[in-house]
Structure 1
Amino acid sequence: MSQPPLKKATITVLDGSHKGDVITVLFNPTEYTFDRTNSYKSIPVPGLGAPLLQFVNGESDQLSMDLFLDDYTDPRGPTSLQQKETDPLGKRLRDLTNLLEIDRDLHAPPPVRFNWGPMEFAAVIEKIGRKVTMFHPDGNPARVTLSVSFKEYRTLRQLIEDPRRESADKTKRRVVVGRDGLWLIASREYDDANQWVAIADANDLDDPREIAPGDWLELPAMETPNGTR
């Protein structure tokens, strides 16, 4: 049985001197990871065996994945039936790594938008690592795997007008990561593993094990004892 062709993903420059430029890659959808962290300040209290932890702020989401560039597959392979590549790998590789450079109009690296199927993520590129596995006769790369880390980008207006709703009394969405189960997610979000039933109902899940890494779940608001949300 032949493997299905890898689907195309795009990275679009959102601002700066190259605003509107689109870089096409082949994205290997075997895995990707989302990470979110919070910052806490330790406050020492005399007489206590451990410091008090004070929440300071939330950090930006981080999306990490491998992107695939291939001169042999893109121009003549099965994926070219959907979208033929006109730029050689070398140019697309330069275009991608240049997104780490300071833009002359922004005086900072430009924000980008990553799209692949239903996924859309506005970010800045924090890190790119490359692994070259095939070369042209002249020594130029012909097949490259890029390990890319995107850090969520939100403007000041977005942060003010659309703040994150992190408390348990607000409906929110979470992506399933690793071996997350509904029980673990419920315990983490609501401090009550029994709330997995509410999550299953909100997402029309007949079997709580029918989730996989990368799935998005809606987490319903938790009712307070007086019946309000």
Structure 2
Amino acid sequence: MSLAKAYLQIEGGTQIPCLYNPEQLSLSRRNSWSAPSMPGKGVSTAQFNGTESASMSLELKFDTTLEGVPVTNYTGKILALMEPDPSLAGSDETSNNARPRTVTFGWGNLQSFESVITSLSLTFTYFSESGTPLRADMSLTLMQYQQSDAFGPQNPTSGTPRPHRVHRVQPGETLDRISARYYGDATKWRALASANGLEDPLAVRPGTVLSIPRLGSA
């Protein structure tokens, strides 16, 4: 079983892979209501003023230590998505009418609504001796660009029949300890090794994201 990798689908067809799958996604939506007060009156009936665009937040980690290349090779592509792109249809540089490209987050069977990046925070956390950044944490906030059915009710036959969790390996953790945490039984570590295609279960690198399959009542 191979673990599906998350990605960012850029308007126009380009895809940027996420080096590590996020541990969680946060989704928020708001409806606009108003209840104007009137002199000499009690509480007035609330009036619906429409639905606001949804937003999604996620944390991404990047590590190019093993590759030996700057981590900016990946983070720079995402950072550039906040810049207006005058090559998009409908752009007019003479009137300053341009916008950044839209982004869609995908992960296996999950696909978000088409979005624009409204907020990005990037922190470099590890550098080579020459000062080249090799690890980074990125926080993204995406705002829904247009009407979408993403995150709505799904056909149960179209998704994964046995949903799984994910776990990011921390320094000092081993498969048997992770097995004990999720299954209450350290001896079930072989299920984790099999689900993640690990040939050497003793050499699990910190930062690796493991699929945690649900076993029976686990």
* Counterpart-to-counterpart distance in 1, 2:102 and 2:110: 17
Task: Name 2:172's counterpart in structure 1.
Answer: none
Contact map agreement 1:103 1:109 (CA 8 A) in 2: yes
1:195-229 per-position Cα deviation (integer Å, ceiling 9, x unaligned): xxxxxxx98xxxxxxxx9xxxxxxxxxxxxxxxxx
Q: Tell me the C-alpha RMSD between the 2 structures.
A: 3.3
Structure 1 residue aligned with 2:32: 39
Q: Secondary structure at the match of 2:80?
A: helix
Q: Cα distance 1:28–1:12, how it changes in 2: closer, same or farther (>3 A)?
A: closer
* Count of matched residue positions in the alignment of Structure 1 and Structure 2: 148
Query: Is the partner of 2:86 in helix, strand or coil?
Result: coil
Q: Which runs of 5+ in 2 are unaligned?
A: 89-97, 157-164, 166-218
Aligned to 1:102: 84
Q: How many Å apart are 1:60 and its aligned residue? A: 1.2
- What is the percent sequence identity of the aligned residues? 28
2:8 maps to amino acid: I
Q: Does 1:118 align with 2:115?
A: no
| 8 Å CA contact 1:6, 1:28 repeated in 2 | no
Structure 1 unmatched ranges of 5 or more: 77-86, 165-171, 176-201, 204-211, 213-229
Please state which structure has a larger fraction of its residues in strand. Answer: 1
What's the secondary structure of 2:19's corresponding residue? strand
The match for 2:13 is: 20
Give the distance between the partners of 2:130 and 2:70, measured in 1 at CA.
14
Q: CA deviation at 1:173?
A: 3.4
CA–CA distance in 1 between the matches of 2:5 and 2:124?
19
- The residue number in structure 2 matching 1:68 is 61
Q: Report which of the two has the higher share of helix.
A: 1
1:48 aligned to which of 33, 41, 44 = 41
What is the CA–CA distance in structure 2 between the aligned matches of 1:46 and 1:115, rounded to whole Å? 51
Secondary structure of the residue that 2:99 maps to in structure 1? coil
User: Normalising by structure 2, what TM-score?
Assistant: 0.58
Deviations 1:48-68 (A, max 9, x none): 344542111101111111011
The answer on whether the counterparts of 1:131 and 1:145 sit within 8 Å (CA) in structure 2 is: yes
Q: TM-score, normalised by structure 1?
A: 0.55
Provide Cα deviations, 1:25-63, integer angstroms capped at 9, x if missing partner: 124432211100111233222333445421111011111
1:8 alignment partner in structure 2: 5
Give 1:138's match in structure 2, choosing from 123, 130, 133.
130
